Amino acid sequence: MISMLFAVIGLFSGIILVGSFIFGHDHDVGADHDHDFGGDHDHDHGGGQSSPVSIFSVKVIAMFLTGFGGTGWLASSYYGLGPAAATLWGTSSELTGFVFGSRQLYGYRYSYN
C-alpha cells in the first residue's frame, strides 16, 4: 500500500514537471517581453542578467517530489522497507541530489557573463 502512495506521488509530480517544462516559464519572472509581428523584437531582461530559479518554484518542487516518489517506491517495493525507512531514504536521496546539483550549478553561475 505504501509503495502505491509513493508511485502516485512520483507520477503526479512527474506530470506536473513535464507540464511545467512545456507550459511554464519560471525563468521569465521579472522579464519584459514585447513581440512585434512586423519583424523587430524587443526583449528587456534587466541589464542582461537572468534571474535565478527559486527553490520554491514549481519545477524545483516537482523535481524533488518526482525523485522522492520514485526513490520511495523503489525502497518500499523493491527493498521491502517500511514507510518510515522509505520516506527517510527518499528524502535523503533527494536532499543529496539537491546539494550536489546546486554545487554544480553554482560553478556555472559566472560562466554566462
> What are the pLDDT digits (tens) for 39-70?
555 554 454 455 566 778 888 889 899 999 99
Contact 98, 32 (CB under 8 A): no
CA distances to 33, 54, 82, 95, 109 from 91, rounded to whole Å, are 38, 19, 14, 6, 26
pLDDT at 32: 47
The three grid cell numbers given for residue 21, joined into one nine-digit string: 517544462
pLDDT at 25: 63
- The CA distance from 74 to 79, in Å, is 7
Q: Which residues contact 21 (CB under 8 A, 6 or more apart)?
A: 59
- The CA distance from 87 to 23, in Å, is 30
